[in-house]
Amino acid sequence: MEPEETLDPENWDNIRTLSHKMIDDMLNYLETIREKPVWQDIPEGVKSKFKVPIPNDGQDRKRIYQEFTENILPYPLGNIHPRFWGWVYGTGTPFGVLAGILSSTLNSDTGGGEHILNYVESQVIEWTKDILEYDSNASGILVSGCSMANFIGLAVARNIKAGYDIINEGVRSSDKGLSFYGSTETHVSIDKALQLLGMGINSLRKISCNTKHEIDTKKLRETIEKDIESGFKPVCIIGNAGTVRTGAIDDFNVLADLAKEFDLWLHVDGAFGIWCKLSPESKNLVAGIERADSIAFDFHKWMYMQYEAGCVLVKNRTDHHNSFSLIPDYLAQQTRGTASGDLNFSDFGLQLSRGDRALKIWMGIKEHGIKKYGRLIEQNIQQARYITELIKKEKKVELLAPTSMNTVNFRYNNRQIDTSRLNKVNKEIVLQLQEKGIAVPSSTILAGIYSIRLGITNHRSKKEDFDLLIKEVLKFGDELSAIF
Ligand SMILES: *Cc1c(COP(=O)(O)O)cnc(C)c1O
């Protein structure tokens, strides 16, 4: 009889030697990340290596690792680099790399059951509630990211505030349109969530903003009142703690008062901004978030944790549980053994099988202590102010929005060419900075003006990186405005 096969190695020493090399290489890579280009174009020859037929037979591990170092390692997104400030990305940490190895060694499903990683997740959620000064009875779950966290928060909002048994009867059983309210700056994941919840994207009433890009609360009230008059059922206000374009923060106390007055749910999308709470100097920026019925946010952005790690908290545990708990006999909880325990995270979200996301967070917070995270967040805020001052001093660059928290919008402007040419010049500046591997800002359009945008959620950035950015923007700007 043939011996049984397994995916384990025949010789553990071989894989051990290779794994030590991999870890050494990766730590060296992170240690020297500053010397590497932030980002580089992937040559066609490399892309073609990922359009080949499936291997029928196994290959040597060392060869596979060599392929990784040649064809994969040089071409990542770049968000681990100190001069990456595009969109909103986190950097991760070296200890987070190791946490990933430990976590995938245990490879536990965290949907439920009596095993330790569920307790680790529960610990992380309790710590988070403390940080946010949120209701100690609130429930929470780690999810892939803030998109999923928003989805869960809005699902509970819809189920609780619809005014009928929408969980069992569905949206078809009512002809009364449900309405949601958020500013024009609300993140697209909210539109996606509402579409998938059967609400339709148009159920989101997009309320205009004041000059600081915060929701106009007078318009919000008028829109709610008009909806009620026209026979719609207002359900939920969505507040932003840090919008993507400008880092704007809505006034949560006013939103919470309005929600109370009209019996609405208040959901906060705090993807990155809620972490201001950790900085004694800046926590007042997000005053009132603890009044929200649900809060969605990420650990993988401004808590610098490895992907994926989002989280949603819901103030009323029963509301949250009732929205996601459907238990067939084959998943029934036992009083003893592996299927016992009362940490059934699958009752609080969409996933049944779930990977562990908690260990890296638990290890990271223990490694540095929460005060250090607060200092790093404040450091990023101070860096945003630092580059804002540089911009104000330089004649040929100008701010395009008030700097809020960690988000800066500006452009090159030599005041000799018109807006449409300036838009082209600034767009080209961003592309050249990226393609030359110097820095990665992203861009946005503010009132028709092309803006170079920085979202500083990077624990590796230093002041000198921002000095360099301004120098390069001026250099490219002067060169390009002569050509364009
Ligand atoms: C990034 C972001 C999201 C989406 O979060 P993911 O983690 O990418 O799913 C939602 N809202 C805001 C404000 C964001 O910055």
298-329 confidence digits (pLDDT tens): 999 999 999 999 999 999 999 999 999 987 88
Cα–Cα dist 466/75, whole Å = 23
The CB of 295 under 6 Å from ligand 1? The reply is: no
Q: Give the pLDDT confidence of 36-72 residue by residue, as tens digits.
A: 999 999 999 999 999 999 999 999 999 999 999 999 9
Q: How large is the average pLDDT for residues 147-153?
A: 98
Does the pLDDT at position 111 exceed 80? yes
Per-residue confidence at 231, pLDDT binned at 50, 70, 90?
very high
Q: Which atom belonging to ligand 1 lies closest to the Cα atom of 242?
A: 13
Query: Is the pTM of the predicted complex or chain greater than 0.85?
Result: yes
The CB of 241 under 6 Å from ligand 1? The reply is: no
What Å distances lie between residue 287 and 17, 80, 157, 419, 446, CA to CA?
52, 31, 22, 38, 26
Residue ranges in 286-357 assigned as alpha helix (H): 317-324
Cα–Cα dist 373/282, whole Å = 13
Cα–Cα dist 395/413, whole Å = 8
Does the pLDDT at position 368 exceed 90? yes
Name the percent of the chain lying above pLDDT 70. 100
Does the pLDDT at position 383 exceed 90? yes
pLDDT at 8: 97
pLDDT at 260: 98
pLDDT at 415: 82
Cα–Cα dist 276/282, whole Å = 6
The CB of 349 under 6 Å from ligand 1? The reply is: no
Q: Give the pLDDT confidence of 414-427 residue by residue, as tens digits.
A: 988 999 999 999 99
Residue ranges in 162-206 assigned as alpha helix (H): 166-169, 188-196
Output the average pLDDT for the chain: 97
pLDDT at 405: 97
The CB of 88 under 6 Å from ligand 1? The reply is: yes
The CB of 189 under 6 Å from ligand 1? The reply is: yes
Does the pLDDT at position 114 exceed 90? yes
The CB of 96 under 6 Å from ligand 1? The reply is: no
Name the percent of the chain lying above pLDDT 90. 93
Nearest CA to ligand 1 atom 7: 145
Distance 161 CA to ligand 1 centre (A): 24
The CB of 147 under 6 Å from ligand 1? The reply is: yes
Distance 145 CA to ligand 1 centre (A): 7
What Å distances lie between residue 169 and 159, 164, 172, CA to CA?
11, 8, 7
Does the pLDDT at position 123 exceed 80? yes
pLDDT at 53: 98
Q: Give the pLDDT confidence of 167-213 residue by residue, as tens digits.
A: 999 998 888 899 999 999 999 999 999 999 999 999 999 999 999 99
Q: Which two tokens stand for residue 105?
A: 């060694």
Residue-wise burial string across 108-147, b where 16 or more C-beta atoms lie within 10 A, e elsewhere: bbbbbbbbebbebbbebbeebbebbebbeebbbbbbbbbb
Per-residue confidence at 234, pLDDT binned at 50, 70, 90?
very high
The CB of 271 under 6 Å from ligand 1? The reply is: yes
pLDDT at 326: 83
Nearest CA to ligand 1 atom 12: 271
Instruction: Report the residue count for the chain.
Output: 484
pLDDT at 268: 98
The CB of 185 under 6 Å from ligand 1? The reply is: no
Distance 407 CA to ligand 1 centre (A): 14
pLDDT at 172: 87
The CB of 311 under 6 Å from ligand 1? The reply is: no
Does the pLDDT at position 334 exceed 90? no
Does the pLDDT at position 332 exceed 90? no
Distance 399 CA to ligand 1 centre (A): 24
Query: Which comes out higher in pLDDT, residue 338 or 349?
Result: 349
Task: Give me the phi and psi of 221, to 5 degrees please.
Answer: -60, -45
Query: Which comes out higher in pLDDT, residue 343 or 64?
Result: 64
